[in-house]
A and B are shown apart, each in its own frame.
Chain A
């Protein structure tokens, strides 16, 4: 794996690799090199299996991480390509023509994270959510607890007590 990464790094200006364990490596890639790199990996280096495509919201850093996880079965190697997108205007490039199944992932990312993939088939169709009007719910700033409190009624009759405060209240209220 190290040789492959060394070979690919200058060609695709990859970032510093993380060798997570034998058989699993992560590396950063730039958006303009992604497509060529994916094709190279698929066609020349045996990474024919798109394991998954998903996003990580680094809210504090103002960016989304797209993770393209590819697998070379014969070599038992998995490579995670990390691509960072500006969180303010997240726009990815569709790869459904390389792996048709990517269209599903891209549709989900559009719905759950609000990341656009222009040209991806049916990317704007509802996938899991129906009639959703709030912000894309898998973004970190979507507060599920607040949403549920606004949307659903709490069943009454519940009240909890904190041990420390209870003891203070009863045993040494003045202290």
Chain B
């Protein structure tokens, strides 16, 4: 075995003796590759403290620690990393919802204090904070979905001649896909006026447990079916998913839960008051979201609650302000049915102040709560604004709901750029389509599109339905017929181009380009520039006695007025918004309940 070659050949290795050694003289300081996963960096301005990095860390290396006070959409927490546990896998970078967390390519660091290897990137300054190289997510976030499933909606042609509901609601498949995107950080909970347990009910959707979902909804909100359709969803504006992709469709998911529970089952889940009647009586004026929520809470605590409503049906602005195509009346009725099931008596068609006086209510009850809403339209007070043919949006909407005959001319101009303006424009458009087969509505808004007040989807859908929307137009005059049979009646709206709305001090002082004038032909001009409360029910004496705050009844944090027996809340106190009104309702009920409990204590 073996040849001479096998003996000699190994000696060729000697040639390496004259080669330069390949060993690095000083390996410390060798720069790592561009995508090396080294020490973390965190852009703390971008970070929202959602804690997804902590959740995904398989080795429990990350703690969320407070570095600042929390604010809307930011917990004030920031990740602190324990490099005794970190395995440099960078899943925290991959999962990061804002893209704030990255890794530098620095990997050498010597310190004699082991605790120094636990620090808050971006807060505790480190030499590698400014290094641009290192691991970053190469593309968009891949570890959770970026976009919402598309919501099925009626096509514009199909919806424009009727008041049928436009949005179909999510299917189970769509809802599960959407619910899956939620990272359960819970930043939205603080922003929601009633602090709904959003991540929990979204989790219930994923689990397919709609009973549990309903139960969670009712813990904070007796108007979940309404809010599932028309909530202003402030929660979605702070959603962690919005930074790369769309925010979770929280509102649609809420609706999806209710859509999947029958009315009977809902009543079973919510149940009825499980306490003995307290014998205390509370009167509530106004069957809107604030009043009914107060009633719901108080009734569940065993108090006898009567709600007085001037209109023929309960619901307040939810019924008489929001058009049916956005919120069908039977959806609202189902929410109200659950409230009635708690033993709440709702007396409709009873106007306090004329049918029954407030003094009478005071005498008959332990407490009185006002939830009277904003049912009077504000006027532009431009010349001609009192002419026949000039309408208030809120009044018109109410009459449409009540089934009253409203004039439907071929041409309508709407003043206003908020959701109410869109509501009346789209309602009138439907009536026009039914009557004439064509839409003739022009909306003139003070704001430009960049600063529009109405929801984006409202604007989009309005335009889809053939409504003309003109931005940055200021109303100057309702043009009227100067002569003839229709003398004095409206025949148009004259507007100027808006240059700016506010002055240097931020006060409302619109500036116009008078050269850019348009007269919009219209036989009806609708003012939709805001509402106010009708406080005539208070009567002179009480109006005098109460404290006021810039035209609104002054209340403390709990909704208590300056009169010990009287509370007030909802739109009339805090401005128009269903979910705020619900939040107010809870607050009012808690305050009233505390007073009643104190009374009971004294009686003993």
Residues in chain A within 8 A of chain B (CB atoms): 155, 157-164, 166-168, 170-172, 175
- The answer to whether A164 touches B64, judged by C-beta atoms less than 8 angstroms apart, is no
Whether A164 contacts B189 by the Cβ 8 Å rule is yes
Stretch of B75-83, B452-460, B485-493, B505-513 with 4 or more beta carbons under 8 angstroms from chain A: B75-83
Given contacts A162-B64, A168-B189, A170-B76, 12 further A-B contacts (CB under 8 A): A155-B84, A161-B65, A161-B77, A162-B51, A163-B50, A163-B77, A164-B185, A164-B189, A164-B190, A166-B66, A170-B69, A170-B70
B positions within 8 Å CB-CB of A: 49-51, 54, 62-66, 69-70, 75-77, 82, 84, 115, 118, 185-187, 189-190, 195, 199
Instruction: Let me know if A164 and B69 touch, CB within 8 A.
Output: no
B186 touches A160 (CB 8 A): no
In the complex formed, the residue of A with least CB distance to B69 is A170
Cβ 8 A contact of A157, one of B49, B118, B189, B190: B118
Contact B82 A163 (CB under 8 A): no
* A166 in contact with B84 (CB, 8 Å): no
Which A residues lie within 8 Å of B190 (CB)? 164, 167-168, 171-172
**Are B64 and A160 in contact, CB atoms less than 8 angstroms apart?**
yes
Cα distance A167–B51 when bound, in Å?
13
| Bound complex: CA A172 to CA B189 (Å) | 10
CB–CB B63/A159 < 8 A: yes
CB contact between A164 and one of B62, B66, B115, B187 (< 8 Å): that residue: B187
Closest chain-B Cβ to A76's Cβ sits at a distance in Å of 33
**In the complex the two chains form, is B195's CB within 8 Å of A175's CB?**
yes
Cβ of A163: which chain B residues have Cβ within 8 Å of it?
Answer: 49-51, 64, 75, 77, 185-187
Contact B75 A166 (CB under 8 A): yes
List, in ascending order, chain B residues with CB within 8 A of A157's CB: 115, 118
B118 contact set on A, CB distance < 8 A: 157-158
Question: Which chain A residues lie closer than 8 Å to B65 at the CB level?
Answer: 159-161
Q: Are A167 and B187 in contact (CB under 8 A)?
A: yes
Establish whether residues A164 and B76, one from each chain, have CB atoms under 8 Å apart when the complex forms: no
- B77 cross-chain contacts in A, Cβ below 8 A: 161, 163, 166
- Rounded to whole angstroms, the CA-CA distance of A56 and B82 in the bound complex is 34
Question: Which of A155, A158, A160, A167 contacts B189, CB < 8 Å?
Answer: A167
Q: How far is the CB of A164 from chain B (nearest CB, A)?
A: 3
> Taking CB as reference atom, which chain A residue is nearest B190?
A167
What are 6 contact pairs spanning A and B, CB under 8 A? A163-B64, A163-B77, A166-B66, A170-B70, A170-B76, A172-B195
Inter-chain CA distance A155–B61, complex, in Å, is 12
Chain A residues whose C-beta falls within 8 Å of the C-beta of B50 in the assembled complex: 163
Q: In whole Å, how far is A144's beta carbon from the nearest beta carbon of chain B?
A: 13
Q: How far is the CB of B593 from chain A (nearest CB, A)?
A: 14
A residues in contact with B189, CB < 8 Å = 164, 167-168
